[in-house]
A and B are shown apart, each in its own frame.
Chain A
């Protein structure tokens, strides 16, 4: 009746920005049983808990391509645009992103402020 280790020392993914924390089962670009599918970045992946199908994977996050912190894929923490960028780095280098993305982020900022006030 030793505490099983699979949970404690189990690989945990922790988003550095929102502190979302959940175990991952695979890190890399080719999750198991995905056949033709390849990921374009090294990702923290787990089995999709909301799908009855065992083989469905769910990407939790990856490391920011600029500052290398782990961030989740949530829209508030990172964006993917050919590479992963954490929100801190996006803000720092906003000008290099296409206007579509800039507009989108600006809009989001406005609406979230409205939501708070």
Chain B
């Protein structure tokens, strides 16, 4: 090399100029490797190494030629292979690069014309050197890639399932249903889809119970099937997917496949369906199997593969007409089982904390028996979070002392960063001790576990239909779970499983866990069945039918919710709710919100209530977090706190982008949940839009800006896409080595730690992948507008929003106990219709501020009216869950009387309407005049509300097509929903909510009262001789109620059916009354008066004409109208206008016309 330098004084490999000349020869545009690509850069790095290597070799010298000659002499074979005499590494490479044409054109490479021109162009020597390096570079790359391929193939072959490959394919080809049963590690989830794919099946869907598994399997299988960069293998989950028209294998969740069936009953788009993990017996999976069972009848060509652990296989085979079963052995190392039952004196009694001694003994035993150099971590299964923190504390004390353990908790309420820690590696001589719920039994797999401690307990959710309450209770696990837990010790080597129960206990365990379908409320399931047209849910053939009572409870509930009609058929509301992937109550909220143009805040609230709370429990006791959270709190209720939080977060995102991470940490917020919210929110919005419940705004011209700005945005998007790709490629990343202190943080949300993690998770660069995805998915300025629209709600909007939430959540209402004002904050008690004595969950805003729920002392009241007030309140809540106590969470407070009158399913009154019984459990006592006014107003509002809601649901479009007529409606043509009608209704509701100043008493009925509530059917009176026309709802009839007695005025209001009722028309009930609209003044009964009110409208309404509507009405409703408007920037006028959405549309249209 030194010689070369001397000869060509101007040639310097390090000079950019010289390299550029080589680039012109070898790395032109369109060449295999092009200038400027990463590969090109890699080549030059390779080149330098290669040159150094060559020099070193040249210097050491060698007798190549000699050696070969010797060989030649010894030759004995008959065939001459014709190999060259002298060895050259070049001969080992099967690639050549021809550049002669270029060289000639450039006139380079002439070894003879050294001094021609003063040019410093490369000579043939240099070109040859570069070419050789390039060949070695290409060869090196070939070897690397082939090495990967070979390794992949040999790993695939080593899997236990590989031997069954042909058998599986054959079975699937010849049978409609096949069961593949294999234990952990046999490779079924990754391999079976590939076997089918490569044997010629396409259009394969493979369901998974967990979203995360869909993503990781798609990633792994696309890599294994050599399609890492293609879209042959994809996934689809709630918010994202990688599916394209060329996708042949799709991983998706069970719920999503069910939705596909909802849309395409025969599932024509698939040829093979693989249902994985059927043994887990999730609700969706059981249901899916039932649906597929009947679907097979009309799709005889469809192939169904069930994959299961080796648990209860016969059940599945039998369900599908004795489908063939293929059993594959798992790949587990031997595991030694040690039964170490907890001695009586260490057994925790009820309500006591766990005794940590049995657990500590296991740790000590491991320390004594196994030298620290022998690696292997410990996984400890406990039933719940409280149990985990008890044992965690004790183990950490022990670890502190021995310095041989790092103790980490694992459960789903931890932050994701904390959960992620369990995958990090312990330093040498130290073991991880992971204390987990059953999340580590199937959902989370941690490698390197050698020891398992199994408490034998699990906490499981069950549904109590009587109390309408979920319950989290501790149970013994099943033998199947016990085996699953044990198996976690033998994944990477032989292991030990310590069972903290006796072998006889084990024998007494149930074989399998109770399937979910037997434990949970079936509301959503039944709704979905109805919308799929599966007939009577009671006659549906489930693999393991749920109790008939559960189905009945769900049907009743859905009827109460208005999703099913009295005959059990889907209502228009119901069919809409069935499309929404959320709880019925949340779905109702969304529908109601879209009607009132309160859609932005409702979308946020519905999304927030559908994901885990973003507020980390661990941060609650951190005073800094509490202070920082304070401004987000709303004493209206938890949904409002969530709304504030989301809006504030969006603003931070808009102003400071990635800084939102820090903002969240300060407040003890899990940002991931907010990302989930924003995604879910968007999905809801699209769903509402596709059902015509939202105006479809014309495709926004990419909000203003010239071409330059647009290009800028495009560049940014491209950059973001690049970042995402890079992140996706940096698969897994390296795990961090834990420090001993990592196990010591009892307080979780330590700042530095999470910060460190956030950065590490993205491979050192300070790229927050969530932020990148967020930016790709959402239009931030649009989102900011939406957040702004729901930020500073006026008190009118707020009360209307509360009413919508309440109507959505109904019948989930709780009444504060009358003695709460005299109790400590921590002892506030509430009652629901079905469950007495529930408490507010400590995370709720009302737990720390219960006074806002107390009835204020109202001046100089005395005597029998002591309990009377106009300020009674109720709580509407999202969940009622019993753990150690029955807790209600996510509560919002509402004015009691108004809310009940507007949302309750059953209102019963006495003759003068001074006594009302709501839903058979709450009694409202009113006095005289006010009673009738308020009841009458409520009936009118409800009728209007119902009419508009129905019209909207039936009609599907709002605003844009104001003139169109709705088809639905009780026999009468319901006029199209006009914006004006809606605004009038909104205004009416708000007035009713805010300005009803009626004093009343509110209490629960006692058991005895409930029994003797109704007068019951009455002997024929003159009234029932001929059906009287219903004056409130012309066209309907007022009939005596056959059960309660009295008169059924509407489907929710029965008049005069309560036992203390007087005779319907007895004179004493007539009072003189003046109609505010006409000149009527006469003695009327309550019913007569109500009927007059219903027909006698103020003059302005009878003739809905702009002029008569007048300034008065406009002024009165102006504040609510203002709430429905937003600032709109018109590019054409170049003006900011304050308009409602409809007005914006009109405004735009006006430009469209004038533009023509």
Contact = CB atoms under 8 A, between A and B. Distances in A.
B142 interface: yes
A96 B199 contact: no
A17 to B, nearest CB: 12
A72 B150 contact: yes
B200 A55 contact: no
Given A5-B200, A7-B198, A97-B83, A49 B150 contact: no
B77 A49 contact: no
A95 B80 CA distance: 11
Nearest to B75: A95
B71 A82 contact: no
Contact of A80 (B32, B64, B92, B102): B92
A98 B94 contact: no
B729 A100 contact: no
B81 interface: yes
Interface string B140-180: 00111110111001000000000000000000000000000
B77 A95 contact: yes
B150 A20 contact: yes
A28 interface: no
Contacts of A37: 32, 95-98, 138
Nearest to B228: A49
Nearest to B299: A1
A117 interface: no
A8 interface: yes
B628 interface: no
A79 B92 contact: yes
A49 B83 contact: no
B92 A98 contact: no
A74 B145 contact: no
B203 interface: yes
Contacts of B138: 37
Interface string B83-109: 110110001111111110010000000
Interface in B777-834: none
Nearest to A20: B153
A49 B149 contact: yes
A5 to B, nearest CB: 7
Given A36-B31, A95-B71, A50 B148 contact: yes
A100 B86 CA distance: 10
Contact of B202 (A4, A18, A84): A4
A52 B729 contact: yes
A18 B150 CA distance: 10
B93 A80 contact: yes
Interface string A1-40: 1011101100000000010111000000000011111111
A93 B91 CA distance: 17
B230 to A, nearest CB: 9
Interface string A62-94: 100010000011100001111111000000110
A35 B32 contact: yes
A3 to B, nearest CB: 4
B81 A96 contact: yes
A111 interface: no
Contacts of A100: 64, 67, 87
Interface string B238-253: 0000000000100000
A47 to B, nearest CB: 8
A112 interface: no
Nearest to A41: B94
B301 interface: yes
A73 B150 CA distance: 10
B134 to A, nearest CB: 9
Given A39-B94, A50-B149, A100-B87, 11 more contacts: A7-B197, A38-B95, A40-B96, A51-B145, A66-B79, A80-B92, A82-B84, A84-B94, A95-B74, A98-B64, A98-B67
Interface of A: 1, 3-5, 7-8, 18, 20-22, 33-41, 43, 46, 48-56, 58-60, 62, 66, 72-74, 79-85, 92-93, 95-102
27 contacts: A1-B203, A1-B268, A3-B200, A3-B271, A7-B197, A20-B150, A22-B153, A34-B32, A36-B97, A37-B97, A43-B94, A49-B227, A50-B144, A58-B145, A59-B142, A60-B146, A60-B149, A79-B92, A80-B92, A80-B93, A81-B83, A96-B81, A99-B67, A99-B70, A99-B71, A100-B64, A101-B87
Q: Which 7 A-B pairs have the closest CB atoms?
A: A49-B226, A3-B200, A98-B87, A8-B200, A99-B67, A80-B94, A40-B94
